[in-house]
Amino acid sequence: MNNGMNKQIYPLLVAQFLSAFADNAIVFAVIAMVMQATQPASWYVPALQSVFLVAFVVLAPWVGAFADQFAKARVLIVANLIKATGAGLLLLNLEPLIAYSLVGVGAALYSPAKYGILPELAGHNQLVKANSWIEGSTILAILSGMVVGAKVADYSISWALTGTVTLFLISALTTWFLPKIGRAHV
């Protein structure tokens, strides 16, 4: 019996870490951008923080079914490209509520594909171990993304946004190295 983890999972671990890191770093960049540009209305920053989460609530009934229709590795790539587009639109000074909600759409799409691909990569015997690695790396990405995102946004908002775009793109590229399992429509 092999106790090591299936090596096919490593690109997913890297891609998930980068994507979750950027998801959390961008929060600080977009809030800093809004606070620096104007004196926003009291409702604006909470609304900004909410649009990311609203995408999960609104899209929840459909994103899982969508992820099941296509090769999950391709869905992960598309989701990261959507997030990169939202971050890029922030760089171009599009209305932050719209641009950041697009990042939320990508994140909502990413989540079911991330968990759906695990059984395909790990198999039944390694699923619990693979899931624990995904969860552990996600927690690490959240915490480090928050710290680094805040520090970089304090230094330069454009660097912080450029960094998140870059991380989403690297995550998408890393996902390209996952095995092409499942439906191959995307």
Locus of tokens 């969508």:
66
Integer Cα distance of 31 and 160 in angstroms: 11
Q: Which of 154, 152, 51, 149 is nearest to 95 (CA)?
A: 51
Model confidence, pTM: 0.89
> Consecutive 10-residue runs of the chain (186 residues): their mean pLDDT?
68 94 95 84 87 89 89 94 97 94 94 88 86 93 96 95 97 88 50
Integer Cα distance of 24 and 3 in angstroms: 32
Whether residue 88 contacts residue 39, with contact meaning beta carbons closer than 8 Å, is answered with no
Q: Which of 114, 144, 145, 143 is nearest to 131 (CA)?
A: 114
